[in-house]
Chains A and B, each alone.
Chain A
């Protein structure tokens, strides 16, 4: 890629930052060039972020009508899914799945709730609720 072809698309996903790219100068030699974003890349990033936001929103609604426990909301909000939440918390996936049920979640021991508090960096009050503090 030529230096003057390095995209400068001011991508919102960069949040005002610039990344370093490698491109060729007029003599055909490589040099580092800052880029404020590439629309193609930022579209891909936004797609992933929007998907996670949608999952969070759906989880929030499901918690409100009592279909899922607040854990579902916090899981998606913190960009986890069941496999990696299991890895991070040390629970098995089937345990995490159980904890997504409101009835099971409301009966969890203090010790287990503490683990989730630690994973999400939340207080107990924040963990058992879904409203933003």
Chain B
């Protein structure tokens, strides 16, 4: 088997999807892009608490927009095209991947974390929307992978990668493979920054539908109420419930505090690019919000460790403070973009 190694500079990221997009863009060479910038431009920051979607019996909690929205969002903003393909048969999917590699492309893939052998055992769960970039194949037939959440590039046997690409279930990747085509459009980055901030700010309040309180600031308040109600549940369930929130916020690669630090980093970078000092001030406010979320996570875990001085009320109150601070951020972000 021939050794194929296409040129691809790996850069570690916090999150898989924003990392893949930022790395793909930077490797094209025309527009260098940081991960937080890709995240911010895609207006990916949000909060969602979806009690009717259960994962291993626990409600789904998300701190960002659904999978694929970052890739699509960034491509749309930059007037680039995402060429994506899904496959009905795993064999065809693997052949198509080899073909793209032979053409000299670095290819984005959606995969299931569970079947990727290079992941730490404790992190391997059935999560089907993990993104990575394949940039080559060695003589043994193993694929050369730039997995954005890892320090360095990794390799993966073909069989495992095939399994990961064609895992079934919720968010099944169906072999999804994509390349980003640069149409060479000149973009006004500053205008795009304000536009995406405005979109994020609008979404922060949640959906403007009465009775639907699962998103944004409303969602955070709703979750706080649910936490207080855990008092009537068995301790085992409470521990797993709180642990689940902490994992969604920290473990799955969010750059800390459920993407709040990444968003703060975006605002910081945006302030340098636009010369708008107000963005820097809001970056600092977002940092404080992130710190508050970390405090919440810490209290939740202390409660699980049965520390006497932490009650469910304490945890819920901290969460409500997060919501209040996010409200303040939202107002500032909105008034900021109104001036533009």
A43 touches B301 (CB 8 A): yes
CA distance A1 to B294 in the complex (A): 9
Which of B163, B170, B246, B297 touches A87 (beta carbons < 8 Å)? B170
B297 touches A41 (CB 8 A): yes
A45 touches B247 (CB 8 A): yes
**A21, A87, A90, A119 pick with most chain B CB within 10 angstroms:** A21
Which of A13, A44, A49 touches B246 (beta carbons < 8 Å)? A44
A24 touches B287 (CB 8 A): yes
B262 touches A41 (CB 8 A): no
The answer to whether the Cβ of A130 comes within 8 Å of any Cβ in the partner chain is no
The residue of chain B having its C-beta at the shortest distance from the C-beta of A39 within the complex is: B301
Q: How many residues of B contact A (CB 8 A)?
A: 57
- Nearest-Cβ distance from residue A128 to partner chain B, whole angstroms: 21
A41 contacts which chain B residues (CB < 8 A)?
246-247, 250-251, 297
CA distance A17 to B123 in the complex (A): 11
The answer to whether the Cβ of A65 comes within 8 Å of any Cβ in the partner chain is no
Q: How many residues of A contact B (CB 8 A)?
A: 42
Which of B250, B290, B304 touches A47 (beta carbons < 8 Å)? B304
Total inter-chain residue pairs, C-beta < 8 Å: 127
Which of A13, A29, A34 touches B122 (beta carbons < 8 Å)? A13
B251 touches A45 (CB 8 A): yes
Which of B123, B126, B247 touches A80 (beta carbons < 8 Å)? B126
The answer to whether the Cβ of B14 comes within 8 Å of any Cβ in the partner chain is yes
- Nearest-Cβ distance from residue B93 to partner chain A, whole angstroms: 16
- Nearest-Cβ distance from residue B331 to partner chain A, whole angstroms: 23
The residue of chain B having its C-beta at the shortest distance from the C-beta of A31 within the complex is: B265
CA distance A87 to B240 in the complex (A): 23
Q: Is the interface of A mostly helix, strand, loop or mixed?
A: mixed
Near B by CB (< 8 A), chain A positions 76-128 give 78-81, 83-84, 87-90, 119, 121
CA distance A87 to B56 in the complex (A): 13
B257 touches A1 (CB 8 A): yes
A38 contacts which chain B residues (CB < 8 A)?
250
Chain B contact residues, CB within 8 Å of chain A: 12-14, 35-36, 54-57, 114, 120-126, 149-151, 163, 167-170, 239-240, 242-244, 246-247, 250-251, 253, 255-257, 261-262, 264-265, 268-269, 272, 283-284, 287, 290-291, 294, 297-298, 300-301, 304-305
Starting from the known contacts A40-B297, A40-B301, A47-B239, 14 additional A-B residue pairs (CB-CB under 8 Å) come to A1-B256, A13-B120, A22-B255, A22-B262, A30-B265, A30-B268, A41-B297, A44-B250, A44-B301, A45-B247, A48-B247, A79-B125, A84-B170, A87-B169
Q: Which 3 A-B pairs have the closest CB atoms?
A: A15-B120, A30-B265, A44-B246
